[in-house]
Amino acid sequence: MDAGLYSDTSAVDPLRDPSLYANRELSQLDFNFRVLAQAQDPQVPLLERLRFLCISCTNLDEFFEIRAGTLRHAQDLGLVAGPDGLPPAAVLSRIHDRAAELVDAQYECWNTVLRPALNESGVRVLARDNWSAPVAAWLRDYFRDEIMPVLSPLGLDPAHPFPKILNKSLNIVVVLHGRDAFGRDGNLAIVRAPRSLPRIIQVPEEVGGGPTDFVFLSAVLSAFVDELFPGMEVRGAYQFRVTRNSELLVDEEEVDNIALALRDELVGRGYLRAVRLEIAEQCPEPIVRTLLENFDLTENAVYRINGPVNLNRAVQVYDLVQRADLKFPPFQPRPLPGADSMFETVARGDVLLHHPFDAFTPVLEMLRQAADDPNVLAIKQTLYRSGKDSQIVDALVQAARKGKDVTVVVELRARFDEEANLGFADRLQEAGVQVVYGVVGYKTHAKMLLIVRREGARLRRYVHLGTGNYHAGTARQYTDLGLITAHPDIGNDVHLIFQQLSGLAPQLQLKCMLQSPFTLHGGVLRRIEREIAHALDGRPARIVAKMNALNEERVIRALYRASQAGVQIDLIVRGACTLRPGVPGVSENIRVRSIVGRFLEHSRVYWFGNDGEPELFCASADWLERNLLRRVETCFPILDPLLATRIREEALDNYLGDNLNAWLLQADGGYVRVERADGAEPHSAQACLLAKLCA
């Protein structure tokens, strides 16, 4: 890294040297190359490879909507560089170059690998030059009957200025020649595809000759756009798509009602500042310049596309094609014995759920049983993401209607779920639930459920704490850990946190748990320092942690000091990681690996060796600056030694042994795929858990 370009703070503390820190945005962008590698892997079932390709495209969309959009905002405000020393302008330039590489790799994978392989397997996504005469005729009729009636082409002239273009919508810019009925000269026109139109069209088997033949809507629009301009000559039709900043900026301290403010912001989200233009690669340069000028974008914001600009829509093919031979084998999550009487089961001992291998239904069952149980007095829960048709929300509504005291902390600012969260918040309030919108300035990202039940002469608290959201859908797609316990100290800690969220309680003294933004950051640092002390005294010292991302500078510096002291550190970080492992004299004892497989790795686990008396925590928080310092997060200990051992084996050691889906982070910030040693048995951590827990 060009550390010499920036102010030298290394003289004060050599561990602040910018060369020791990768850039968070660039590291996050590189994660998508690892996702794309799954699409390129011939060992992965073909339709799953298509799904991974589409995930990489969707991830890139979100990256531009959030990360690049935030960077442009930082550039406008003149914000200073982060620990890596790169100012926003430099990061944006590097993003363009790296994203261009990713886009080229995505379309190379689609055009030369996946599309031909799909065609050969009988799942044909027909390119325009491969349409047979019957297919072309059927598509023309489909265009006239199903598409053209909902289109509103707009010719550009002084009376018809450039229209507003919705974020990520499919559009065609058309080059026209001739005069229309009013004698106006043709020049350019815009055809916008309404979101009501399917982006993937299935061709009937009797027309195409195959049971699973598909065509992109963009190809149909480009082929028959001339029918929208009778009497004029269409000299070119080029699809394009603009991506806009989607980060909602609501100054919570300046609004009286955050829910109303968010509703207002959501109305205009699709038309915020543009950050990227995707355009057909053969589009003439003058038209590209016209589009860039209209969207107020520079040259480094344009990406020329060799294929459909909305390639991520090909994921619909995955959903439409029922071919078990081209997908991962189905699995049935392990049920929990005793789930039909959750309170009795949990009263006998803590319950650990490792999703998606363990079923999510025990959490739903506990809520349903609480709603019906006359001994249950109160239910309190946080909701960050729960889905539009949530059984969790159904159970909370039912509990309130049956007279329980129900309080729900709803985080309205869960990115891209704001509208859904507003909807179920309204529904909960209508049922009599007390809805709280968290704390001004701090997202409530904690995952907590508290049930207060009368048992004889006393009240007992039952708690669920998790690393993931209360979302039954993602519980089958993400790896997460959940603890259900009646431990009195944990129950009291959760009770106090809920009091703090719903009232105006002061900073708390918790017995077992760590909490952001108060004690979690310091708690992690103290435990790293403790391992350093063990190492300096000649005792074994070890840290193993699993998370989604890592960028908090003080934690990284502490890990560097630990490495220098001889602490052995293994980090399993799925996405962005700004720590550089393997730097001589700094991080030689740190290893960082990323696992990308069938399920999205989402669990957060921290293990500290503590000289033979290990501590193991699960958490809702990554070691990111925002999670540790600017969010409400929970970190909970696993007090049952058998469960702690199970988590250590399943979620840490198991992943450290993965030699099929693991990538190792290098000192230069790049990743290399783990190579299986000669004679070593192949080991996939996720496949191992499927075989062990779902057999």
| DSSP classification of residue 374 | T
User: Would the annotation count 574 as a binding residue?
Assistant: yes
Query: Which tokens sit at 359?
Result: 């079923």
Which residue in 96, 354, 355, 445 is the catalytic one? 445
Sign (positive or negative) of CA dihedral 381, 386, 388, 389: negative
Together in a domain, 504 and 523: no
At 577 the pLDDT is 98
Together in a domain, 520 and 617: yes
At 185 the pLDDT is 58
> pLDDT of 52-93, one tens digit each?
999 999 999 999 998 888 888 778 777 778 899 999 889 999
User: Would the annotation count 59 as a binding residue?
Assistant: yes
Together in a domain, 217 and 251: yes
Residue 378 counted as domain residue:
yes
Residue 112: other Cβ atoms inside 10 A: 10
Together in a domain, 84 and 136: yes
Strand pairing report for 590-595 and 662-665: antiparallel
Residue 75 counted as domain residue:
yes
Together in a domain, 471 and 614: no
Together in a domain, 240 and 280: yes
At 78 the pLDDT is 77
Between CA 445 and CA 467 the distance in angstroms is 10
Between CA 123 and CA 201 the distance in angstroms is 13
> pLDDT of 93-106, one tens digit each?
999 999 999 999 99
Residue 337 counted as domain residue:
no
Residue 333 counted as domain residue:
no
Q: Which helix (H) or strand (E) holds 260?
A: helix 258-268
| DSSP classification of residue 358 | B
Together in a domain, 270 and 291: yes
H-helix segments, 566-638: 625-629
Residue 677 counted as domain residue:
yes
Together in a domain, 312 and 356: no
Residue that finishes a domain, picked among 509, 543, 563 = 509
Query: Which tokens sit at 241?
Result: 């798509």
Residue 6 counted as domain residue:
no
Between CA 585 and CA 565 the distance in angstroms is 10
Residue 155 counted as domain residue:
yes
Residue that finishes a domain, picked among 455, 480, 509 = 509
Q: How far is CA 563 from CA 84, 535, 611, in A?
A: 20, 10, 16
Together in a domain, 235 and 301: yes
Q: Which CATH number does the domain housing residue 210 bear?
A: 3.30.1840.10
Q: Which CATH number does the domain housing residue 609 bear?
A: 3.30.870.10
Residue-number span of the structural domain to which 595 is assigned: 515-693
Of 417, 421, 484, nearest to 447 by C-alpha is: 484
Q: How far is CA 232 from CA 162, 227, 236, 681, in A?
A: 20, 9, 12, 66
Amino acid residing at 643? L
Per-position b or e across 481-505, b if 16+ CB within 10 A of its CB: bbbbbbbeebbbbbbbbbebbbeee
Together in a domain, 218 and 134: yes
At 256 the pLDDT is 43
User: Would the annotation count 107 as a binding residue?
Assistant: no
Give how many domains the chain has, as a whole number. 3
- Spell out the residues 6+ positions from residue 32 whose beta carbon is closer than 8 angstroms to its own: 56, 59, 60, 63, 102
This prediction's pTM? 0.92
Give the 3-state secondary structure of residue 191: strand
Residue that finishes a domain, picked among 326, 352, 387 = 326
Sign (positive or negative) of CA dihedral 421, 425, 426, 431: positive
Cis before 356 (ω within 30):
yes
Q: Catalytic site residue 73?
A: no
Together in a domain, 417 and 312: no
User: Would the annotation count 602 as a binding residue?
Assistant: yes
Together in a domain, 642 and 494: no
Q: Which residues of the chain have pLDDT under 70?
A: 1-11, 157-161, 179-186, 247-271, 413-421, 504-505, 695
Residue 414 counted as domain residue:
yes
Residue 197: other Cβ atoms inside 10 A: 15
Amino acid residing at 117? A
Between CA 23 and CA 74 the distance in angstroms is 15
